[in-house]
Each structure stands twice: as structure tokens, then as C-alpha cells.
Amino acid sequence: MNLPNKITMVRIIMIPFFIAALLIEFPFHQPLAAALFVIAALSDSLDGYLARSRNLVTDFGKFMDPLADKLLVCSALICFVQLGSVPAWIVIIIIAREFAITGLRTLAAADGIVIAASKWGKAKTISQMIAIVIILIGNWPFYLINIPAGTIMIYIATVMTIISGVDYFIINKKVFRTM
């Protein structure tokens, strides 16, 4: 297993530790959860950079890297519902979009079509990560000036999720022509 794939696997292994740090109360559990999430999120950029720059792109990495991202984001959002930080309907929209796009990619792959990440998909991911981090750090420093930045960002992430999902289906409508 090459280095980028090892980094991806470490990101997946970090998820249960992140969940435990978020949901089990102990001294400094929230900063630990935030740090674990940020490290995992940043490792996504690192493994992608290493894979591309060193010509280490593999089928395993193409499958596991986006799966690791989805597991990390969905884990955080589901925990937020349990904690009362994010409404369930937002998490349902985000997870439904992930299932729909994964299904679209699976259909496309069966026809030999590769669906690359779009600018909207990347914007969606970035907005989700920012929203999650702001919520994890308790809306700091925005709470000092009474701005609900976490709430604002999760709504922006939801809008970006919807836009990117619609965009993927419009751009890749050819996948449905073969059915």
C-alpha cells in the first residue's frame, strides 16, 4: 500500500476516535474532537497531493479517498443531530445527495464513464468542512459578536450541497441515456 493510501486509511481509522471525542464528555473533549477533525480533513488534501505529484494514483485510492471524506463528514453531521447542533433535515439532504451522486458515479462507471469532481462539488466539500469546524469550536470567535457563523455556514453548505448535486445530474445526464 502506497503512502497516499495509508494516509487515507489513517483518516478512516481516526473517525471513531473523533466520534468518541465529540460525544463522550471529558476534559477538553471538544477541542480534541475539533483537532482530530481538522487533521483528518487536511490529510485529504495531503494524500491527494502526494498521489498526483508522485504518480501514485490507484483504483483503491480513487474509491477509498472520497469514501473516507463522506464517512468523516457524515459522522460529524450525525453526531451534531444527536447533540442538537444541526437540524436533522439538513443532515438528511446532505447524506441523500452523497448517496445520489455515489449512485450516479456507479452507473457511469458501469458504462466506462468517470465522473470527476466538479467545482461545485469541491465548493460543497469546503463549505461543509468549514461549517463543521466552526460548530466544533463552538462558533468561536463569532459568538463574541453574536454572529451565528456555524448556523450560517451549515445553511450555505446545504445550499452548496443541493447546487452541486443538481449540477452533477445535469452535466452527466448522458449516463441515463444508456438505460
The sign of the dihedral angle between the CA atoms of 168, 46, 16, 82 is: negative
- Averaged pLDDT for residues 86-99: 97
Task: Report the pLDDT value the prediction gives residue 179, as an integer from 0 to 100.
Answer: 64
Half-sphere exposure of residue 101: CA atoms within 13 angstroms, side-chain side? 26
Is residue 58 over pLDDT 80?
A: yes
Could you give the CA distance from residue 124 to residue 160 in angstroms, rounded to a whole number? 5
Could you give the CA distance from residue 8 to residue 99 in angstroms, rounded to a whole number? 20
pLDDT digits (tens, 9 = 90+) for 106-126: 898 888 887 878 899 989 999
Is residue 100 over pLDDT 70?
A: yes
